[in-house]
């Protein structure tokens, strides 16, 4: 039986139940949608709701912050805050756990990318089932190697399956911005659409899927997952490598150089992170 629509506000992340079968999750962490230990439990609760609600069939992830889908992890938060969050039901640490669970949930997840999906934003998009990008305004990147870090949310396991080994290495090791059209050509996103058409297209697809039978959706997705998703064993080393990289002097020096330029603040570094990570080692 369908339950009444209920909307949930968790501060930085809003869950709107547009229909019992169709939900929207909106990130609202101004000024640049930085994601960190404060947001991990919030997103974890939403992923649990997605997994367990009997009615929901499709969930769309989007942003309320101009120019940013989700950007990078919070490097100003004490590391202890991230380490103190217990592993999730998969046994993985909190961020990779919830991304793995999202990929396997019996619900279709769609990332509607307008603005920068950088680091964690890219990793959430890759964990989603389907990705659509604004042609003019979407930017995806895994910038971490440029700062002496290793990405921690699963892109090394997921990207080669989507775009092939060579292109995955270009994205990961080039650490540069990938705009909407190139992301579509590479297969990083399903489609890039004119910005004015993105919302209408995603809404129409979400409503269409929400009208279908949940069991048929879930079983079809499960069988696709068998052929396409990485195992937990492939995901786990990435978060461990990310945490280990944070303690290296080389990465600390590069992060400090980015901070001196304006990293973590609204402005040119966050708007052109790919450019700036290419400058700090020269």
Q: What are φ and ψ of residue 67, in 5° steps?
A: 85, -5
pTM of the model as a whole: 0.95
Please report, for the chain, the start and end positions of each structural domain, with discontinuous segments joined by +: 8-277
CATH number of 8-277: 3.90.226.10
Is 234 a catalytic site residue? Answer: no
Q: Give residue-wise pLDDT tens across range 41-95.
A: 999 999 999 999 999 999 999 999 999 999 999 999 998 898 899 999 999 999 9
Q: How far is CA 251 from CA 217, 254, 267, 275, 281, in A?
A: 43, 5, 22, 17, 11
Q: Two tokens at 82?
A: 């991230």
Each residue's pLDDT expressed in tens, for the chain with a length of 282 residues = 334 345 555 579 999 999 999 999 999 999 999 999 999 999 999 999 999 999 999 999 999 999 999 999 999 999 889 889 999 999 999 999 999 999 999 999 999 999 999 999 999 999 999 999 999 999 999 999 999 999 999 999 999 999 999 999 999 999 999 999 999 999 999 999 999 999 999 999 999 999 999 999 999 999 999 999 999 999 999 999 999 999 999 999 999 999 999 999 999 999 999 999 999 987
Of 5, 51, 136, 144, the active-site residue reads: 144
Of 123, 184, 238, 270, the active-site residue reads: 123
Is 123 a catalytic site residue? Answer: yes
Rounded Cα gap, residues 219 and 107, in angstroms: 10
Contact criterion met (CB below 8 Å) for 81 and 37: yes
């Amino acid at each position: 039986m369908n339950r009444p629509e209920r909307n949930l506000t968790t501060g930085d992340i809003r869950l709107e139940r547009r229909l019992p079968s169709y939900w929207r999750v909106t990130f609202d962490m101004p000024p640049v949608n930085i994601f960190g230990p404060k947001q991990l439990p919030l997103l974890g609760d939403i992923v649990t709701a997605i997994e367990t609600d009997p009615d929901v069939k499709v969930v769309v992830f989007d942003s309320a912050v101009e120019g940013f889908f989700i950007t990078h992890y919070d490097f100003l938060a004490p590391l202890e805050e991230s380490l103190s969050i217990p592993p999730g039901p998969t046994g993985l640490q909190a961020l990779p756990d919830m991304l793995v669970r999202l990929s396997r949930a019996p619900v279709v997840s769609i990332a509607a990318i307008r603005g920068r999906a950088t680091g964690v934003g890219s990793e959430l998009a890759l964990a989603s089932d389907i990705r659509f990008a604004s042609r003019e305004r979407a930017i995806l990147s895994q910038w971490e190697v440029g700062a002496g870090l290793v990405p921690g949310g699963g892109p090394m396991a997921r990207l080669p399956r989507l775009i092939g080994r060579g292109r995955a290495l270009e994205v990961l090791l080039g650490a540069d911005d990938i705009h909407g059209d190139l992301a579509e050509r590479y297969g990083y996103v399903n489609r890039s659409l004119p910005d004015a058409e993105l919302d209408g297209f995603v809404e129409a697809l979400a409503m269409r899927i929400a009208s279908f039978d949940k069991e048929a959706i879930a079983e079809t997705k499960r069988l696709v997952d068998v052929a396409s998703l990485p195992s937990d064993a492939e995901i786990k080393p990435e978060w461990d490598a990310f945490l280990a990289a944070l303690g290296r002097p080389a990465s600390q020096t590069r992060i400090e150089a980015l901070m001196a330029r304006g990293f973590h603040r609204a402005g040119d570094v966050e708007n052109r992170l790919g450019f700036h990570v290419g400058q700090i080692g020269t």
